[in-house]
Amino acid sequence: MTLMEHLSVVKETRSDTHRQYDLIDVIFLVISAIMAGAEGWQDIETYGNAKIKWLRTYRPFLSGIPCRHTIAR
């Protein structure tokens, strides 16, 4: 089973209100950034902004990269 297949079974529990970023996009961003050495929310946001083109080869990231506060939530 691929990483994306594993992530696709994660249950969405967030409220529909203010849900701008796809949950799987956010989880994929966090996993990728941590594997690349990110150590905090700011590092994850910075990584995402630097690697958006690469990230989009795997996921759409239609709303772009979330800010560090959104990632932390």
In the chain, domain spans: 36-73
pLDDT of 71 over the 90 cut? yes
Q: Could you tell me if 30 and 10 are in contact, meaning their C-beta atoms sit under 8 angstroms apart?
A: no
User: In terms of Cα–Cα distance, which of 50, 9, 1 is closest to 27?
Assistant: 9
Residues 2-58 have pLDDT tens digits of: 999 999 999 988 888 878 999 999 999 999 999 999 999 999 999 999 999 999 999
Q: What is the model's pLDDT at position 19?
A: 86
Give me the pLDDT at residue 16, please: 81
Q: Distance between CA atoms of 1 and 7, rounded to whole angstroms?
A: 10
**Interior angle at CA 63, CA 62 and CA 68, nearest 5:** 135
